[in-house]
Structure 1
Amino acid sequence: MFTYVKLKNYKSLVDFEVDLTDSKNNPKKMVIIYGENGAGKTNFINAFFTLFETLNTKVYKRIIDKLMGKKADNKNDKRNIKLIINKIIKDNFKSIEDIINDAKTIDSKENIILEFGFKLNGKYGKYYIEMRENGIAREKLEYVLSKNKTRFFDISDKEKYINKSLFNSNKYFKEISDLIDKFWGKHSFLSIIFFEIMDKSKKYINKNMPKDINNIVEYFLSTSLHIKQKSNIEKGRINVARKFIFPMNRGIITKTKKEEKKLNYTENILNYFFTTLYSDVKKVFYNREYKDNKIKYKLFFKKQIYGQIKDIDFSLESAGTQKLLNLFPLLLISLNRDKVSAIDEFDSNIHDILIYNIISSMANFIKGQLIITTHNTTLLETKIKKDYIYLFNIDSNGKKILIPITEYERKNPNTNFRKRYLKGLYGGIPMIDDIDFGDLFNQDDLYVKEK
C-alpha cells in the first residue's frame, strides 16, 4: 500500500507531497479526498496511472511492432489499417515521450519527478522516476533486504548501479545489465523487468529474477484505477480476482465447470449487492445462452414496476447504476491485503445516500487501500476515522497541499466536520460571490443588439 506520494512538475502539481500514513507509520486503509474543482484531485489519482504506463512501455513497443507489421493486400487496405493502428496506439499504447508530454506541467522546463513510498509484505520501500523532455533521467528503487532498507538499483546518465546480490545467477545479472545499456532511457528498468516477466517462461523467471523486484512490479501493476477525464470520458484499469467473471455486465465464456462456477459466484455477489442497495430490485441474474461449448451471458435485474415484477436488461439501467457496477470490482479489490484501488469522482452520478452506505459499510473490512476523490460531504458525518479525510488547498505561496482534515482541527465529540467544512473553515471549497443572473441576461441582451 502507498505510504506517501511526491510529485514535481506533474500536470498542475508543481511541487507536491502527501503523507498517507497513520500515527504508527502504517499506510492508511482509506483516503477520502475533497477539494474544489480544479484543485488537483484528478491529477493526483492520475499519477498512479502514469506509474502504470511507465511500467508498460517496452511491452507496448512489442505490441506496436506487431501491429505495424500487419500486411495489406492493396493501397486502400494499407491506408485503413494504418489509420486504425494509429488510433489504437494513440488511445492505448504510450511511449515514454507520450507519457512525458501528457504529464508535464504546462510551460515547465524542469524534469518531471514521481516518487512513491509503499509498504509491501510488511516491508517499506521507495520508487523514484525522473523524466526529462525526451526520456528517463534517473530511476531508483529502495526496499528492505535482510531487515535493512537497501538500494536495489539507482540508474541515471552518470551512474548505473544494480545490487548484484539480488541475483542468483551472474549470467542473468549480465543479461539484465546488457538490456539496461540497450533500452534504459526510452524504457524504465521496471518496464524492462516487466517485459522479461512477460517474455520468459515462469520457470525461468522464478529461477533467475529477484523475487522482491518481481513482487514490486506485480504490486504496482495490480493497482486498480478509475479516472474521470474531460467530456465525461473515463479511463482506468481493473485487476479482478480470478473467482469473478469479467466483464460483469455481459460477455462470452467457455462452458466449463470452472467458468460456470465463476459466473454463478459473480451472480450471487451482485444479487446481494444490488438487492441490498435498491428496494425495487428483487433479484439480479444472468441470462445465459448455450451454444458450441460457449456461454453467452447478460446481466438482468428483476424489478418491481407498478406492482409487476419485470426482467430488465442491465444496459437499460441509469448511468449511476451502471457506474456502480463498473466500480464494484475496484471496491472488492481493496478488501484484499496489499491491494490498492484509486477512484476519481467516486460519487459522480450516484446518490449521496448510496455512497454513504457503501463507504461506511466497507470501512472496517478493507485490508488493502482505497483512495477516492469525492464531493459527497455526507461522508464527513460517518464513523470513518477523520484522519482518513484529506483536503486539497492552496497555501499563501500558491502551492497545492493535501493534508488530513485533522491537521486543521482535532476531533472532539462536539465537532461537526461537515458543517465546518461547508462554512469554509478548512478551505477546499469554492469561494465565490453570488451571481446576478438578471444582470447576466441584460448583458447578453446588449451583446446580441450590438452584434
Structure 2
Amino acid sequence: MFTKITLENFRSFDHIELDLTEKGNTAKHLAILYGENGAGKSNLMSAFVLLPELTRTMDARAAYERILAQGAIFQDENMEKEMREHIRQRLRDMSAIIKDYQMADCENPIIAEYEFNIDGNNGCYRVEFGQDEILHERLEFVLNRRRGLYFDCSATGININDSIIEKEQGKEFLADVKEMAKRYWGKHSLLAILIYEMKDKSNSFGRDNITENFNAVLNEFRNLSCTVSMGDKSWEGLYAQLKVLNQPLSGKISRKREHELDQAEAFFSHFFAMYDPSIRCVTYEKEYVGELIYYKLMEEKYIANSYRRIEFKRESTGNRQLLRILCYLLVACMGKTVILDEAEANIHDLLFQNLLETVQPMIKGQLIMTTHNTMLMEAEFARTATYILQMNPKFPWDKQIKCITDYKKRTYATNNIRNKYLNREYGGVPELKSTELRELLEKMCE
C-alpha cells in the first residue's frame, strides 16, 4: 500500500504530492481523486504505471535477443527498425519510458518517489531520470527488523547491501547481480536487473535466498494492478490470485485450477442476475484439451420474449465495463493495491455508488481511483477518501492535491460535501464561459 507519492518534472507536474495517510500515519484503503478536465488526474495515475514498467525493461532486451538467436534475418535496416519499434511498444525500453513521462520542453531530471507500507513496514523507493537513462535509484525498507538501505545506485557507484541475501549460498547470485548492474544499470533499473536474474533457471538458488521482505517489494511493484489512460494509449494490467480474473471473458487455464473457474462463474452469475433482471445466469463454456481448459463466458439473457444463450462479449458496453471493474475490485478486496483511472465510465452513477459503498468495507488492500462521479461524495466514506486536484485559475501550472479533511475551512459532519464541491468551495470544478462559447458557435455556423 502506498502512503505518499512525490513527483517532479513528471508529465504536466513540476511538483506534486499525494499524501495517502490518515491518523496514525497509516495508509488509507480508499482514495478517490476529483478534478477538472485537463488538470492531470490521469498523469498522476500514470506514475503508478511507471513502477511495473521499470521492472520489465530487461524483458524487452531479452525479447530482441531471442529473435536474433532464432536466426531472424532482416532484409534491410528499416525492417530491423520496425521490429525494434514493435518490441518497444509492447515492452518499452528506458528511453521510450523516459520520453513518455518527461515534461514537454523540460531538460530537468524527472523525479518519482514512492513511500509505501507492506505488512506494517514502511519503505521508500526513489528514482531520478535524465534524458535517456536513470541517474539515481534508491530503495529503503525493513532490513534485519529495522529500516535500512537495500541499494543506492548512481553514476558515482552502485551500492547493493549484501544483507538482501538471506543464506550463504545466495552470494554467487548477488555477485551476478552486481556484475550485471555494472553493465546495464542506467539503461535498466536495478529492480529489472534483479528480476531478470531471478528468472534465470541457473540462478534458482538466488530466487530462494532473496529475503522475504525484498521479494514482497518486488512483487508489489511488478504486479501492481492498473488501468490508466495515457494520452493516445492506455495501460491495462490486472494481477489476481484467481487467474480467471485476468481474462474473465475468455482464455485458457490449467485443469488443476478449474475450481477457480467455477468460483468466478458462481460470483459473476449471482451478481449479474441480481443486478440485471434480463440476465438469468452467467456460465463458463469449457473445452478440455489435454491439461488445459479453454473457456468463454456465456449468459442466458431475456431477448424478444425468450431466454437466449449468447457470449458475454456481446453484452452492452456498460455491462462489459462492469465485469472488468468487478475483477479489479475483487483484487483490492483480496489485499492488493489497485489503480483505476475513470473507473465509472459507461456505468450508471447510482449503480457505481452502490457498488463502491458495498465493496469499501471489504477492501483489505488499497484502491486509488479517479472519477467525475460526484454521487460518491454522498457516501459515508467520502470525508476521508475524497481528494481534489486543484489548479490555480490565474497560474494554471500551480497545482496541489488536498483531501477534504485538509481544507482550512472545516467541513462539518452536517455539511454536504457534494454540494460544497459543486459550489466551487474546494476548487477542481471546470468553468465554461457560455457567452464566449455562443460567440464561437455563431462564427463557426455563419
C-alpha change, 1:301 and 1:373, in structure 2 (3 Å) is same
Taking the TM superposition and a 5 Å limit, the aligned residue runs for 1:68-87 are 68-71=68-71, 75=75, 82=80, 85-86=83-84
Taking the TM superposition and a 5 Å limit, the aligned residue runs for 1:5-154 are 5-71=5-71, 75=75, 82=80, 85-86=83-84, 88-154=86-152
Give, in whole Å, the separation in 1 of the partners of 2:208 and 2:306.
Answer: 62
Does the CA-based 8 Å contact 1:7-1:113 persist in structure 2? yes
C-alpha change, 1:242 and 1:344, in structure 2 (3 Å) is same
Q: 1:213: Cα distance to partner? A: 2.0
Q: 1:147: Cα distance to partner? A: 3.5
Bigger mean CA offset, 112-121 vs 270-279? 270-279
Give, in whole Å, the separation in 1 of the partners of 2:81 and 2:129.
Answer: 30
Q: Give TM-score, length-normalised by structure 1.
A: 0.90
| Aligned amino acid, residue 8 of structure 2 | K
Taking the TM superposition and a 5 Å limit, the aligned residue runs for 1:302-341 are 302-337=300-335, 339-341=336-338
DSSP-derived class of the 1:413 partner: coil
Bigger mean CA offset, 310-319 vs 20-29? 310-319
Bigger mean CA offset, 279-288 vs 347-356? 279-288
Once the two structures are superposed, what CA deviation does each residue of 1:97-146 show, in whole Å capped at 9, x if it has no partner? 11111110001110011110000121000000101012111111111223
Give, in whole Å, the separation in 1 of the partners of 2:139 and 2:297.
Answer: 44
| Aligned amino acid, residue 331 of structure 2 | I
Partner of 1:273: 271
| Aligned amino acid, residue 403 of structure 1 | K
Give, in whole Å, the separation in 2 of the partners of 1:279 and 1:28.
Answer: 36
Q: 1:62: Cα distance to partner? A: 0.5
Give, in whole Å, the separation in 2 of the partners of 1:204 and 1:160.
Answer: 23
Once the two structures are superposed, what CA deviation does each residue of 1:403-449 show, in whole Å capped at 9, x if it has no partner? 20222254433200101111111111102211566544431244xxx
Partner of 1:184: 185
Q: 1:221: Cα distance to partner? A: 1.1
User: Which of 343, 355, 358 in structure 2 is aligned with 1:358?
Assistant: 355
Does the CA-based 8 Å contact 1:67-1:85 persist in structure 2? no
Partner of 1:428: 428
C-alpha change, 1:190 and 1:296, in structure 2 (3 Å) is closer
Give, in whole Å, the separation in 1 of the partners of 2:222 and 2:288.
Answer: 35
Instruction: Using the aligned pairs only, state the percent identity.
Output: 30
In the alignment, is residue 194 of structure 1 matched against residue 195 of structure 2? yes
Q: 1:184: Cα distance to partner? A: 1.0
In the alignment, is residue 260 of structure 1 matched against residue 258 of structure 2? yes
DSSP-derived class of the 1:334 partner: helix
Once the two structures are superposed, what CA deviation does each residue of 1:243-288 show, in whole Å capped at 9, x if it has no partner? 646411112445x3x2332221121111122223323222111233
C-alpha change, 1:81 and 1:272, in structure 2 (3 Å) is farther
CA RMSD of aligned residues (A): 2.4
Give, in whole Å, the separation in 2 of the partners of 1:62 and 1:173.
Answer: 20
Does the CA-based 8 Å contact 1:243-1:265 persist in structure 2? no
Q: Give TM-score, length-normalised by structure 2.
A: 0.91
Bigger mean CA offset, 381-390 vs 269-278? 269-278
| Aligned amino acid, residue 272 of structure 1 | H
Give, in whole Å, the separation in 1 of the partners of 2:291 and 2:138.
Answer: 49
Partner of 1:285: 283
C-alpha change, 1:440 and 1:84, in structure 2 (3 Å) is same
C-alpha change, 1:68 and 1:40, in structure 2 (3 Å) is farther
Q: 1:392: Cα distance to partner? A: 0.3
In the alignment, is residue 407 of structure 1 matched against residue 373 of structure 2? no
Q: 1:90: Cα distance to partner? A: 3.2
C-alpha change, 1:341 and 1:105, in structure 2 (3 Å) is same
User: Which of 132, 137, 159 in structure 1 is aligned with 2:157?
Assistant: 159
Does the CA-based 8 Å contact 1:244-1:265 persist in structure 2? no
Once the two structures are superposed, what CA deviation does each residue of 1:61-109 show, in whole Å capped at 9, x if it has no partner? 101221344445895xx89975873453132111111111111000111
Q: How many residues align?
A: 440
Give, in whole Å, the separation in 2 of the partners of 1:172 and 1:37.
Answer: 49
Give, in whole Å, the separation in 1 of the partners of 2:160 and 2:291.
Answer: 50
In the alignment, is residue 239 of structure 1 matched against residue 239 of structure 2? yes
Partner of 1:349: 346
Does the CA-based 8 Å contact 2:344-2:373 persist in structure 1? yes
Partner of 1:228: 229
Does the CA-based 8 Å contact 1:342-1:372 persist in structure 2? yes
Give, in whole Å, the separation in 1 of the partners of 2:253 and 2:9.
Answer: 45
Give, in whole Å, the separation in 2 of the partners of 1:273 and 1:81.
Answer: 49
C-alpha change, 1:333 and 1:72, in structure 2 (3 Å) is same
Q: 1:386: Cα distance to partner? A: 1.2
Q: 1:336: Cα distance to partner? A: 2.1
C-alpha change, 1:93 and 1:206, in structure 2 (3 Å) is closer
Give, in whole Å, the separation in 1 of the partners of 2:200 and 2:402.
Answer: 42
Once the two structures are superposed, what CA deviation does each residue of 1:303-352 show, in whole Å capped at 9, x if it has no partner? 22354222232122111211222222211111123x10001011111111
Runs of 5+ unmatched residues, structure 1: 447-451
Give, in whole Å, the separation in 2 of the partners of 1:414 and 1:363.
Answer: 22
Q: 1:177: Cα distance to partner? A: 2.1
Does the CA-based 8 Å contact 1:222-1:340 persist in structure 2? no
Give, in whole Å, the separation in 2 of the partners of 1:436 and 1:399.
Answer: 25
Does the CA-based 8 Å contact 2:63-2:87 persist in structure 1? no
Q: 1:294: Cα distance to partner? A: 5.2
C-alpha change, 1:148 and 1:354, in structure 2 (3 Å) is same
Give, in whole Å, the separation in 1 of the partners of 2:163 and 2:252.
Answer: 47
Does the CA-based 8 Å contact 1:52-1:221 persist in structure 2? yes
